[in-house]
Amino acid sequence: MTDTSSGTNQPSPSDTGANSVESDDSTTHAASAFGPTTSTERIKRVFIRELRTVARTRTYLILGLALTAVLVGIAWIGGGIEAGYVPTVVDLLTPLELLVPIVAIAFGYRAILGDRRRGELDVLETYPLTPRELVVGVYTGRAVGLLGTVVLALGLVGGAVVVGRAEPLGRYASHAGADSPLLYARFVVLTALFALSMLAVALAISALVSGTRSALALAVVALVVLLVGLDLALVYGLASGYIGDSSLIHALAVSPLSAYRGLVFETTVLTATGTGPRAASPAASLLGLTVWTVGSLAITMWAVKR
């Protein structure tokens, strides 16, 4: 997967994909864009550059359309659209645990790598653009594209629930603890936080590698660890007695996937049903996602500074 940025430079053959063509800013343009301005202005210029990259990369549009089609199809086949908002959340939760990391890594795994391969990082070192400003600008620009993709897809699913549900909206929205669009909105917000955390991981991958193939390899390893490895480690810790039953709801925060899953169950699903044991500690899970996000961005800044 490749990005398309403003400018006229042609990509090297190793960076050219079958479905998209990359055209990036020249180093001269990059140098002139980061003159002696304020920190906020420099971040804004990087942010705008990343927005243009996302907007001009057809692959991201295709990815968004595919994600929307998959989510609507799952909710329709699973019966969530007719049953209501919370049943739709239950239908979508497991697929999103897989799809959100994949989409986030697709948006970010080459963001820093592309600048390094074009030599722009070396040029920018001579200008007053700090690693923090570069990473913040890249992250926020890519985050807008990623959130637009994920939130729009979930919004269309929510709209399908409004049209296709079997029971009238008023019957649910007027009862505390029952199915409500507010619960679905909470689910969308939690999914967005999960996506932002995974995007930070993708940027760290992009900053640590030196080539496209190594970026793809590290991305695959990261997906395996995030989707399978950490959860298996938690299961092993529980079975071996290293993690007690009472501390499990806090230990889930170690894995961003488990933290996201626990937050959805604790604040959306169990809120509607009003029954069942605690699925997670919301405070610990939010802290876990925050640590993954901030820690990954810190690693990215360190790698850019090397």
Per-residue pLDDT reduced to its tens digit, 18-75: 344 333 443 444 444 555 578 888 889 889 989 998 999 999 999 999 999 999 999 9
Give dist(CA 53, CA 5) in Å, integer.
Answer: 4
Which has the closest alpha carbon to 41: 123, 127, 107?
127
How many CB atoms within 10 Å of residue 274?
A: 9
79: domain range? 36-305
Please check whether residue 12 lies inside any domain of the structure.
Answer: no
| DSSP conformational letter for 12 | P
pLDDT in tens, 178-202: 678 899 999 999 999 999 999 999 9
Task: Give the helix, strand, coil percentages of the chain, each rounded to 5.
Answer: 75, 0, 25
- Look up tokens 């697709």; give the residue: 106
Q: Measured in Å, how far apart are the chain's first and last C-alpha atoms?
A: 26
Residue 23 lies in a domain: no
Number of compact structural domains in the chain: 1
The pLDDT-based confidence of 172 (bands split at 50, 70, 90) is: very low
Asked whether residue 208 is assigned to any structural domain, the reply reads: yes
pTM score of the predicted model: 0.81
In order of 131, 142, 187, 202, the CA distances from 29 in angstroms are: 19, 20, 41, 26
Task: Give the Cα separation of 244 and 193 in Å (integer).
Answer: 28
Residue with tokens 């398309």: 4
153, part of any domain: yes
pLDDT class of 17 with cuts at 50, 70, 90 = very low
Quick check: is 144 in a domain? yes
Within-domain flag for 30: no
Is 291 part of a structural domain of the chain?
yes
pLDDT bin (cut points 50, 70, 90) of residue 131 is confident
Per the domain annotation, does 31 fall within a domain? Answer: no
Q: Residue 295: pLDDT above 70?
A: yes
